[in-house]
Amino acid sequence: MPRPIALGGVVPATATPFDREERVDHRALERLLEFNIAQGADSFFIGGSSAECFLLSHDERIAVFETAAQYRDRAYMTAHVGAIATREAEDLARRAAALGYDAVAATPPFYYGFGSEAVYGYYADIAQASGLPVVIYNFPGNTNRPFDLADPVTRKLFKSDFIMGVKHTNQVVYQLERIKAVNPTLIVMNGFDETMVAGLALGADGNIGSTFNFMFPHYKKIYDLFRAGRLDEARALQVRANDIMNALCDVGLIPAIKYVLGKMGVDVGVPRRPFRPLGPEQCAMLDRVLAENLRND
């Protein structure tokens, strides 16, 4: 099938594999992307939170972009280039553009409490540096930098020509609808796996999700059922997915995703410290919950 020409649908937020010494394992990254493509994935979000992006060096982030860029002819590719310093984000964005990525995404600059004018300038500079459409990565739970849609500069940002869309990783799905109301032309991707049905009901164009690394068929089924108007069936599968998500979050989402992928035969190694590997009891609990709820047929 031809690759998509726009962001949308069900998009894995690809994990970064490491070996036992916490070095990036590029061969394992290739195996993971092939695994998802075989399941039907045709779009990837590379280098985001699920990829442990802020635990990687600048050069490691570029190296991950390089490996994943091999799949640009088979999938729509978005590179996450967010950083605190605009210069770093610009360089990552330029590298992604040179590698043939379709779009770049970026968390807002965080830690220092930057105002809306600074945030606007940051995104404008990324767009100018890359020449690519930009996706705002709205993840206030992790960045502690929410977007105030009542602020005129923020509204100007969301209406600007260089912003293609928003990855809305926020449990407040009401804001997802409000973002669409500010600019109906934006592609808004729900970023919390556990609110897929709710996000689609409020106008999301799709989902970018961490658990799609190993649950792609389950979530693609939810997406297809919702689009077909089979809402009760979509909600039933969402409940199963949320039972799995509760278990994953109880033991630690990133280590759990890597454990489950390993069980499925896709060894992506260990999470990078300070993440901790799972213990035997945690693994047994995950095995049970997955056996009861996962639909990867």
Q: Which residues are annotated as catalytic?
A: 137, 167
b/e 187-226 (16+ beta carbons within 10 angstroms → b): bbbbbbbbbbbbbbebbbbbbbbbbbbbbbbbbbbbbebb
- Rounded CA separation 219/88 (Å): 34
- Rounded CA separation 129/3 (Å): 26
Contacts of 102 (CB under 8 A, 6+ apart): 7, 72, 76, 77, 78, 132, 133
Tokens of 132: 């690519």
| Nearest CA-CA partner of 81 in 127, 19, 148 | 127
